[in-house]
Amino acid sequence: MDKINFSGKSDIGLKRNNNEDVFVVKSDLDFCLVADGMGGAAAGEVASHIFAETALEIFLNSRGRSEKQNLEQVQKTFRFANKRILDHVKENPHHEGMGCTAELMAFTHKEFVLGHMGDSRTYRLRNGQLKQLTQDHSLVQEQIDQGLISPAEARNHPLRNIILRAVGINESPALDVIRGKALSGDLFLLCSDGLTDMVDDFLIREVVSSIGTLSQKVEKLIELANAAGGKDNITIVLLEVT
């Protein structure tokens, strides 16, 4: 397949005392992820790290995966991480309610598999057009889908932080799996809601389609989120098919 270049960074933002986000970029294994912990009292941080460690364990030594293996390993990561977080809570009841949202993207040949759960997001820039590949698993997104509120109203809605699906919250959460072609020139953005709650999609498109390195674009997006208030941790992975 074509070469994939990756860049990622996590920033604590301006309001939080700790960073519950985590990202992983493994260019040698053609996969990356963003996970956003939830649950407070440092428990969210534990959940997101359990997800990342599970992915690293499952994708280790998996070069030359078939498309079927790629799909199976994405699904297995979510399944195993979900069980490990639930098991952790059983042993540490004071961490009740912890979990994480997650984006996990893996490539093989010219295909990608994307696992998605929660309100972190994945976008694709192709031919100058930015498309959100994922659908938020949140109460406000459900209300948008039902025509009860507008996307603009959702941005400042008092219930915007209510997540309907996450890793580690119940025994068998439904996983969204998105599959597609990775074309030369495609740019993918995985991010926590610390970016998308602060920065509009049109500004995101402006940055990712601008001239510059991937790391410069990552830095610019974090700068914009902090300039808008930096109310949450901000985590971004950018990857480009070249």
DSSP for 60-83, written as a single string: TT-TT--HHHHHHHHHHHHHHHHH
Per-residue pLDDT tens listing for the chain (242 residues): 578 999 999 999 999 999 999 999 999 999 999 999 998 666 899 999 999 999 999 999 787 899 999 999 999 999 999 999 999 999 999 999 999 999 999 999 889 999 999 999 999 999 999 999 999 998 888 888 888 888 777 777 777 778 899 999 999 999 999 999 999 999 999 999 999 999 999 999 999 999 999 999 999 999 999 999 999 999 999 999 99
Please state, in angstroms and rounded to a whole number, the distance separating the CA atoms of residues 125 and 86: 36
How many CB atoms are closer than 10 A to CB 211?
Answer: 6
Count of H-run helices and E-run strands, the chain: 7, 10
Q: Are 114 and 134 in contact (CB under 8 A)?
A: yes
Domains, the chain: 4-137+163-241 (3.60.40.10)
Torsion of CA 87, 8, 123, 136, to 10 degrees: 30
Q: Provide the whole-model pTM.
A: 0.95
CA neighbor of 52 nearest in space, from 12, 95, 20, 92: 20
**CA neighbours closer than 13 Å in the CB half-sphere of residue 232:** 21
Q: Are 149 and 143 in contact (CB under 8 A)?
A: yes
- Residue 217: the pLDDT is 98
Tokens coding 138: 């949140």
